[in-house]
Structure 1
Amino acid sequence: MASAKPWYLSRTIWASLVTIATAIAGLTGVPLEGIDNAALAETLLQAITAVSGLIAIFGRIGARDRIG
C-alpha cells in the first residue's frame, strides 16, 4: 500500500466496531433482530465523512490566517 488514509475512513474498522457494539448490546440484553451490520457500518462511515467535511468547512471559515 503506497498511500495511507485516516483510521475513521476505513470500512473494515467501522465494520469491526459495529460488530463489537452489537455483540456487547446482545450480551446486555438489547434486542437486535433486523439489524444489518454492513448497512449500519456504511451509514456510520457516511455520517463521519459528512461531519468531518462540515468541520473542515467551518474551520476554514473561522480561520484567522490565510493558507499558503
Structure 2
Amino acid sequence: MDGMKVWYQSKTVWGGLIAVAASLLQVTGIQLGADVQADLADLAVTLAGAAGGFFAIYGRIAAQTGIRGK
C-alpha cells in the first residue's frame, strides 16, 4: 500500500468501532443515527491525531537522551 498510516488515524477503523458501539448501545435502548456515527468517527480521528502529537512531544521531553544534528 502506498501512503500507510497508523490504525488510529483511519476513519474506517473508527467508523467500525463506533458502529459496533452503536449496535451495543441499541441493545440498551439508545440509538445513534448514521449522521451521528459519522460525526463521532471524524471527532475520534481528530482527537487521536491530537493525542499522537501530544505524546510525541511528551516522549521527546521525557527522553533520557538528547537529539543532535548531522
TM-score tier, shorter chain, comes to: 0.7 to 0.9
State the superposition RMSD in angstroms.
Answer: 2.0
Equivalent residue, structure 2, for 1:59: 59
Unpaired segments of 5 or more residues in structure 2?
Answer: none
Per the normalisation by structure 1, the TM-score is 0.82
Identical counterparts, % of pairs = 35
| TM-score, normalised via structure 2 length | 0.80
Q: How many pairs were matched up?
A: 68
Which residue pairs with 2:50 in the alignment?
50
Q: Distance in 2 between matches of 1:12 and 1:46?
A: 13
Runs of 4 or more consecutive aligned structure 1 residues displaced over 3 Å after TM superposition:
31-35
Q: Which consecutive unaligned segments of at least 5 residues does structure 1 have?
A: none
Within 5 Å, give how 1:1-68 maps onto structure 2: 1-32=1-32, 36-67=36-67
2:12 & 2:33 partners in 1: Cα distance? 23
Change (3 A) 1:52 1:21: same
Q: Which moved more, 1:55-64 or 1:27-36?
A: 27-36
